[in-house]
Amino acid sequence: MSALTGEDAPPQAPRQHYLNVTYGVRSWLLTLDHKRIGLLYLASITVFFLLGGMFAVMIRAELVTPAGDLLQAETYNKMFTMHGLVMVFFFLIPSIPAALGNFLIPLMIGARDLAFPRLNLLSWYVFIVGGLFTLFAVVQGGVDTGWTFYTPYSSTYSNSAVAATAVGVFITGFSSVLTGLNFIVTIHKMRAPGLTWFRLPLFVWAHYATSLIMVLGTPVLTAAVVLVALEHLLGIGIFDPKLGGDPVLFQHLFWFYSHPAVYIMILPSMGVVSEVISCFSRKRIFGYKVIAFSSLAIAVLGFLVWGHHMFVSGQSVYAGMIFSFLSFFVAIPSAIKVFNWTATLYKGSISYDTPMMYAMGFIGLFTIGGLTGLFLASLAVDVHVHDTYFVVAHFHYIMVGGALMGYMAAIHFWWPKISGRMYPEGWGRFSALVIFIGFNLTFFPQFILGYLGMPRRYHAYPDEFQVLNVMSTAGATILGVGYLIPLIYLIWSMRYGPRAGSNPWKAKGLEWETTSPPPTENFLTTPLVTEEAYAYAAPDVEEQEGARVG
Amino acid sequence: MWEFPLFPEQASTIAGGVDSLYLFLVGLTAFFSVLIFTVIFVFAIIYRRRSDDERPEAIEGSHALEIFWSVVPFVIVMVIFTWGASLYFRNARSPDDAMEVNVVGKQWMWKIQHPEGRREINELHVPIGRPVRLTMTSEDVIHSFYVPAFRIKMDVLPGRYTTAWFEATKAGEFHLFCAEYCGTEHSKMGGKVVVLDPPAYERWVGGEEQGESLADLGARRFIELRCENCHYPGAGERGPSLAGLFGRIVPLEGGGTVEADESYFRESVLNPRAKVVAGFQPVMPTFQGQISEEQLLELIAYVRSLKAPQGEGR
């Protein structure tokens, strides 16, 4: 399995790399190396993922029986609120961009670091401060508004720790903006010689589109949070009808950010899938430019469709029709991506390594998630399924089946680069299968529940919904196990995994031309790019001239 | 217990139309999911890696294919849009002869007022085959009135009226849910819609404690609050007469017009200076805080019942 022709010697780790160049807590907490900052993010979001997962366990355990008997209603409401908050703001939004994007973008474009390394470290600290406020809210007794914070419940009626949570979300927003800004400048200004825009890996294109949303969308959420605070503290009538405000205005502001935020979560995963699919079919990606532009199209269209969350909110019938019309347009770039990925497999040389298993899982589940989005964009059907489990199922297919599958693909694909070691492949494939099965068993029954009419955020429910809920909880149990397996073997592999070598997948892309793990400065000499991305048909660089570094 | 439904009951005139579109979408989703899954599966087997040295030829892409798989989804989604939007548009407007029922949501109950004066909590009795128009508001946070068997849902907001309508087609009891998260007992904020055949409904509405009608209650309130001091029949000095006003287009002071509907009456009581009728001074005091949502709905029922003096209207 050696990556080098005619050599059977096992790959060796480079003598010095970013992990062993310095030691000690200080060297990590004050690091300006984008790779170490990426790992700081990776560790923090893993903690948040486990926390969010524990809330999910409580939710699914409660819903095994129709009566609200395990938790009190108030506790249950806090569980689903904090599950949503933690998973959205502290796991999914930072997941691929802040952890892996941070690590990979400079490597992929042949740069030494991001454009603003200090800003990068600051954004992690801002993220942590925001996270601590939210954890403080949990300790204070939690928050029960739903992650959507709808007014006037959140601003006037809830007795839970809304303020601390809102401050947490407010602060975390700045971390997103800083990361997005850093990526945009880096991608514009720091590409290696010869790396033109249309030679960029699609992972970088996806992050460019994501960063645009982060920079343009997040301030609106921040503004909405500030307005809630102003109303709460100074009694200025903005959302509360008793003060002359309009509660629906909050929904407009919230979804103006939070719908595009869905694309912050899914676009980076789409970038990952483009990399993985082409690597494991050893094929140039089919329709490179179309995929690149469809990412931008999704980013732009994402800002025009927020009103589809509000078809039954009392907004005008005509506004509903326009938002429905525009929402359908998002289906087109999404469909284009799916077709192009599938076409990339055609006449490829396909291997079934773990990242590829996740990427194929992504395509399938994202297809279902995307198509069920059509139900929600169609006005008459949405009236029935809005705020039911159908919506819950749909967005979990996108966010877990899509975004999280992409994240898992990415972790496995770049793990050799990050850690310098291989994870156990058999366990990797096994857990990918477990996750796929567990996921579908958890969320598919929820589509049926939703059309039957079970509203979301229900602590207790009528008896006839029990069977489907039990199935869902059974699936969630399998899913939970599926996530724990990689957590164990990845940690194990950091010490005991076989050495990876600089390019274990024979992948294309600058990040594979440097050592695993890479040196602090990424490349010993500035790389010169002479070919397009995914030039898998061309012979390996290494085969021509031997390994360039290490 | 281990028997469970997979499809909700159809109990309103619009349910069938919504379900047809839903089933079309299910078919479409099944078709494309199976297509994509199959193609991936087949490719993954046919083109599996046979030797580690394989270097398949590059395929750049194909303009023809890109256009094909952009145009086909575009056409399909436009069909779905048109279908969904036209159903929605049709369902948005209630028939003119609909029976009026008022709904007031509060944490965590539904309060219902029938025009005949009968009140219910967490239950709504309606006859088969008669359109029912709901005028809804909330006393506190946002709720959402949801009857799955009717395929209707509408948010119920504080500070304004929203409306929904349905015509039941089947006798029986159906779930009524609150679909918008509204706090601790959100999942308990529900009850049932009881659909009766017309004779049974007449018995129900006429039976027991048949009190004053909603309009009569409103009339009493109208006097209690001294509304009649200015808005007496044939008035025109301090305030406009309200006879025959409901549903008319009213010219406003400072230009513009407004339809004198429920929302306008509500606003005029709570915030009288917002839209003053042309030719009048903004002298009316606000009744904010002095009148509950239910009393306000009674007043509106009364105003609605006032016929125009010349005998026009109903």
**Residues B264-300: pLDDT tens digits?**
888 889 888 888 888 888 888 888 888 888 899 999 9
Q: How far is CA A465 from CA A16, A157, A439, A458, A479, in A?
A: 59, 30, 19, 12, 21
- Helix, strand or coil, per DSSP, at residue A377: helix
Query: Distance (Å, rounded) from C-alpha A340 to C-alpha B69?
Result: 9
Q: Work out the pLDDT band at A235, boundaries 50, 70, 90.
A: confident
Number of independent structural domains in chain B:
2
**Contact assignment for B80 to A336 by CB distance below 8 Å:** no
Using a CB-CB distance cutoff of 8 angstroms, which residues of chain A are in contact with residue B78?
Answer: 328
User: pLDDT above 90 covers what percent of chain A?
Assistant: 85
Query: Distance (Å, rounded) from C-alpha A332 to C-alpha A338?
Result: 10
**Contact assignment for A328 to B77 by CB distance below 8 Å:** yes
DSSP A502: S
Average pLDDT of chain B is 90
Pick from A298, A300, A262, A268: nearest CA to A398: A262
Chain B residues 180-219 with CB within 8 Å of chain A: 180-188
Question: Higher model confidence: residue A234 or residue A276?
Answer: A276
Mean of pLDDT values over B47-61: 89
Query: Distance (Å, rounded) from C-alpha A92 to C-alpha A399?
Result: 8
Chain B residues 83-112 with CB within 8 Å of chain A: 83-85, 87-89, 91-92, 107
Chain A residues 320-339 with CB within 8 Å of chain B: 320-321, 324-325, 328-329, 331-332, 335-336, 338-339
Most confident of A14-23, A108-117, B223-232, B265-274: A108-117
Using a CB-CB distance cutoff of 8 angstroms, which residues of chain A are in contact with residue B88?
Answer: 311, 317, 320-321, 324, 379-380, 383
User: Of the given ranges (A2-11, A256-265, A528-537, B227-236), which has the lowest mean pLDDT?
Assistant: A2-11
Using a CB-CB distance cutoff of 8 angstroms, which residues of chain B are in contact with residue A382?
Answer: 84
- The CATH number covering residue A410 comes to 1.20.210.10
Plot region of A237 (φ>0 → left; ψ -120 to 50 → alpha; else → beta):
beta
**Contact assignment for B141 to A387 by CB distance below 8 Å:** no
Chain B residues 152-171 with CB within 8 Å of chain A: 152-155, 157-160, 162
pLDDT over threshold 70, residue A3: no
- Residue A290 in contact with residue B68, Cβ under 8 Å? no
Query: Distance (Å, rounded) from C-alpha A314 to C-alpha B180?
Result: 13
Query: Distance (Å, rounded) from C-alpha A504 to C-alpha A416?
Result: 8
pLDDT over threshold 90, residue B313: no
Q: Work out the pLDDT band at A393, boundaries 50, 70, 90.
A: very high
User: pLDDT above 70 covers what percent of chain A?
Assistant: 96
**Contact assignment for B29 to A372 by CB distance below 8 Å:** yes
Using a CB-CB distance cutoff of 8 angstroms, which residues of chain B are in contact with residue A313?
Answer: 155, 157
Q: Tell me, yes or no, whether B178 and B117 share the same domain.
A: yes
Amino acid at A170: F
Q: What pLDDT, on the 0 to 100 scale, is given for residue A8?
A: 56
Q: What pLDDT, on the 0 to 100 scale, is given for residue A546?
A: 42
Mean of pLDDT values over A524-529: 92
Q: Is residue B2 part of a domain?
A: no
- Helix, strand or coil, per DSSP, at residue B153: strand
Q: Which of B162, B188, B206 is the last residue of a domain?
A: B206
Query: Distance (Å, rounded) from C-alpha A309 to C-alpha A257?
Result: 12
Q: Is residue B192 part of a domain?
A: yes
Query: Distance (Å, rounded) from C-alpha A417 to C-alpha A13?
Result: 11
Q: Looking at the complex, does the CB of residue A357 fall below 8 Å from at least one CB of chain B?
A: no
- Residue A271 in contact with residue A314, Cβ under 8 Å? no
Nearest CA in chain A to B179: A455
Q: Is residue A294 part of a domain?
A: yes
What would you measure as the largest C-alpha separation in chain A, in angstroms?
79
Rg (CA), chain B: 27
User: pLDDT above 70 covers what percent of chain B?
Assistant: 95
Pick from B39, B130, B157, B21: nearest CA to B77: B21
Q: Is residue A11 part of a domain?
A: no
| CA–CA min distance A342, chain B (Å) | 6
Q: What pLDDT, on the 0 to 100 scale, is given for residue B210?
A: 61
Q: Work out the pLDDT band at B314, boundaries 50, 70, 90.
A: very low
A–B CB contacts, 8 A cutoff, strictly below: 290
Q: Looking at the complex, does the CB of residue A219 fall below 8 Å from at least one CB of chain B?
A: no
Q: What pLDDT, on the 0 to 100 scale, is given for residue B209?
A: 60
Q: What pLDDT, on the 0 to 100 scale, is given for residue B274?
A: 86
Q: Work out the pLDDT band at A9, boundaries 50, 70, 90.
A: low
Nearest CA in chain B to A344: B59
Q: Work out the pLDDT band at A155, boundaries 50, 70, 90.
A: confident
Q: Work out the pLDDT band at A416, boundaries 50, 70, 90.
A: very high
Q: Looking at the complex, does the CB of residue B140 fall below 8 Å from at least one CB of chain A?
A: yes
Amino acid at A355: P
Q: What pLDDT, on the 0 to 100 scale, is given for residue A340?
A: 96
Cβ neighbours, 10 Å, residue B302: 21
pLDDT over threshold 80, residue B59: yes
**Contact assignment for A380 to B88 by CB distance below 8 Å:** yes
Q: Is residue A67 part of a domain?
A: yes
Q: Which of B178, B206, B234 is the last residue of a domain?
A: B206
Q: Is residue A366 part of a domain?
A: yes
Helices (H), A497-545: 541-545
Chain center to CA of A385:
25
Q: Is residue A26 part of a domain?
A: no
Using a CB-CB distance cutoff of 8 angstroms, which residues of chain B are in contact with residue A352?
Answer: 44, 48
Q: Of all helices (H) and strands (E), which one includes residue B127?
A: strand B123-127
Q: What pLDDT, on the 0 to 100 scale, is given for residue A2?
A: 41
Q: Is residue B49 part of a domain?
A: no
CB-CB: which of B74, B160, B162 is closest to A332?
A: B74
Number of independent structural domains in chain A:
1
Q: Which of B206, B231, B264 is the last residue of a domain?
A: B206
Q: What pLDDT, on the 0 to 100 scale, is given for residue A439?
A: 97
Q: What pLDDT, on the 0 to 100 scale, is given for residue B22?
A: 97
Query: Distance (Å, rounded) from C-alpha B165 to C-alpha B175?
Result: 16
- Residue A499 in contact with residue A2, Cβ under 8 Å? no
Nearest CA in chain A to B180: A387
pLDDT over threshold 80, residue B44: yes
Q: Is residue B266 part of a domain?
A: yes
| Residue carrying the six token digits 């128009």 | B133
**Contact assignment for B44 to A350 by CB distance below 8 Å:** yes
- Residue B156 in contact with residue B138, Cβ under 8 Å? yes
Q: What pLDDT, on the 0 to 100 scale, is given for residue A66?
A: 95
| Residue carrying the six token digits 């006429």 | B206
Cα angle for residues A131, A137, A143 (degrees, 5° grid): 115
Q: What pLDDT, on the 0 to 100 scale, is given for residue B221?
A: 87
Nearest CA in chain B to A461: B187
Mean of pLDDT values over A348-367: 96
| Residue carrying the six token digits 């509405």 | B205
- Residue A94 in contact with residue A176, Cβ under 8 Å? yes
Using a CB-CB distance cutoff of 8 angstroms, which residues of chain A are in contact with residue B66?
Answer: 287, 290, 336, 340
Q: Tell me, yes or no, whether B164 and B119 share the same domain.
A: yes
Q: Tell me, yes or no, whether B110 and B176 share the same domain.
A: yes
Could you report the per-residue pLDDT of A45-101, keeping only the tens digit for each? 999 999 999 999 999 999 999 998 999 999 999 999 999 999 999 999 999 999 999
Question: Higher model confidence: residue B235 or residue A198?
Answer: A198
User: Of the given ranges (A105-109, A210-214, B64-68, B223-227), which has the lowest mean pLDDT?
Assistant: B223-227
Chain center to CA of A367:
17
Q: Is residue A244 part of a domain?
A: yes
Could you report the per-residue pLDDT of B85-118, keeping only the tens digit for each? 999 998 888 898 999 999 999 999 999 999 888 8
pLDDT over threshold 90, residue A470: yes
Q: Is residue B290 part of a domain?
A: yes
CB-CB: which of A325, A329, A384 is closest to B18?
A: A384
Question: Higher model confidence: residue B147 or residue A68?
Answer: B147
| CA–CA min distance B259, chain A (Å) | 16
β-strands B191-196, B123-127: how paired?
parallel
Q: What pLDDT, on the 0 to 100 scale, is given for residue B279?
A: 84
Mean of pLDDT values over B63-78: 95
Q: Tell me, yes or no, whether B155 and B236 share the same domain.
A: no
**Contact assignment for A380 to B18 by CB distance below 8 Å:** yes
Q: Is residue B311 part of a domain?
A: no
User: What range does the domain containing A425 cover?
Assistant: 31-545
Q: Tell me, yes or no, whether B179 and B250 share the same domain.
A: no
Q: Looking at the complex, does the CB of residue A467 fall below 8 Å from at least one CB of chain B?
A: yes
Q: Work out the pLDDT band at B310, boundaries 50, 70, 90.
A: low
Q: What pLDDT, on the 0 to 100 scale, is given for residue A204?
A: 97
β-strands B191-196, B172-178: how paired?
antiparallel
Helices (H), chain B: 15-46, 63-92, 198-206, 214-224, 262-270, 293-305
Query: Distance (Å, rounded) from C-alpha A440 to C-alpha A150?
Result: 30
Could you report the per-residue pLDDT of A278-322, keeping only the tens digit for each? 999 999 999 999 999 999 999 999 999 999 999 999 889 999 999
- The CATH number covering residue B270 comes to 1.10.760.10
User: What range does the domain containing B227 cover?
Assistant: 214-305
Q: Is residue A9 part of a domain?
A: no
pLDDT over threshold 80, residue B164: yes
- Helix, strand or coil, per DSSP, at residue B21: helix
Q: Looking at the complex, does the CB of residue B17 fall below 8 Å from at least one CB of chain A?
A: yes
Chain center to CA of B21:
20
Mutate to test the interface with B, among A379, A457, A544 (most CBs of B within 10 A): A379
Q: Is residue A12 part of a domain?
A: no
- Residue A210 in contact with residue A263, Cβ under 8 Å? yes
Using a CB-CB distance cutoff of 8 angstroms, which residues of chain B are in contact with residue A465?
Answer: 4
Plot region of A202 (φ>0 → left; ψ -120 to 50 → alpha; else → beta):
alpha
pLDDT over threshold 80, residue B211: no
Tell me the DSSP string of A384-407. HHTTBHHHHHHHHIIIIIIIIHHH
Cβ neighbours, 10 Å, residue A381: 27
Pick from B108, B106, B105: nearest CA to A73: B108
**Contact assignment for B80 to A374 by CB distance below 8 Å:** yes
Question: Higher model confidence: residue A542 or residue B293?
Answer: B293
Query: Distance (Å, rounded) from C-alpha B246 to C-alpha A308?
Result: 33
Beta bridge partners of B48: A350
Could you report the per-residue pLDDT of A118-151, keeping only the tens digit for each? 999 999 999 999 999 998 988 888 899 999 999 8
Cβ neighbours, 10 Å, residue B209: 7
Mutate to test the interface with A, among B32, B94, B155 (most CBs of A within 10 A): B155
Query: Distance (Å, rounded) from C-alpha A16 to C-alpha A489?
Result: 25
- Residue A511 in contact with residue A104, Cβ under 8 Å? yes
